[in-house]
Structure 1
Amino acid sequence: MKARVHIMLKDGVLDPQGEAVRHALGTLGFEGVTGVRQGKVIELDLAGDDKAGAEAQVRAMCEKLLANTVIEKFTVEVI
């Protein structure tokens, strides 16, 4: 089974990478982009077939290691 974790900065947290991408898009002629937020996606291969247990385990991984919960939010998708 696979799990996919999407991690993004929380609203209100400055995103310098996103701002750099927004600026670069403008210089390349892509007008109308008023904001960019950059995040990360982590895919995990998990043993077992307990979907609820896997989601709980991945959430614990995020809380302890994968996400900085002070400034980042995350979503977990078990596939």
Structure 2
Amino acid sequence: MKKTGMAKSDAKKLMGKMVAPGAAGFGKEDVAVLDRREQRKLDQALGLVPFAVKLNSDLVLQLQTLAKERGVDLNEVVAEVLAKGLAA
């Protein structure tokens, strides 16, 4: 790898750390962020199962805007839409 490629890679890593959840900056509250293992245990206790699908980008955009409008998590909106669709 060239020196410039390594510099780009290092910069991307640094930017990712700055934007990462839980990376509290000056004056921000220190919020406890769960690691993946803890989050997985909480999800399992709630009966949640990871379910990956590939969707059209327009459909995903509609789901995201619906979640923003309602002020809820995207997972809740998708679960509600699926439940309504299966009931019909």
> In which range does the TM-score fall when normalised by the shorter chain?
under 0.3
> Higher relative CO (CA 8 A, sep ≥ 6), structure 1 or 2?
1
Q: TM-score, normalised by structure 2?
A: 0.22
Larger gyration radius, structure 1 or structure 2:
2
